[in-house]
Amino acid sequence: MELQATFGQNVRRIRLRREMTIEALAQDAGLSYSYLGEIERGLRNPTLAVIEGLADSLAVEPHSLLQR
């Protein structure tokens, strides 16, 4: 569960640094904004495809979203 929280915190931190709204990132990554919100709060366990999509939308390597 700790990795889920770390992942969500990293997504949120990078999204805010890029000055993206949750809606904009969700749309770009092909997710609903409510699902993305749950990911950012560490409540969801995203698939590898979702991780890859978020990384692409945030212009980062997927592994950077998992780093503690």
Mapped onto helix, strand or coil, the DSSP state of residue 47 is coil
Cα 12 to Cα 42: distance, rounded to the nearest angstrom: 11
Question: Residue 34's domain is classified under what CATH number?
Answer: 1.10.260.40
Q: Identify the residue whose tokens are 């945030």.
A: 58
What is the count of structural domains for the chain?
A: 1
Domain housing 32: 2-65
**Percent over 90 (pLDDT), the chain:** 97
Q: Are 67 and 3 in contact (CB under 8 A)?
A: no
Query: How confident is residue 1, by pLDDT bands cut at 50, 70 and 90?
Result: low
pLDDT for 21 beyond 70: yes
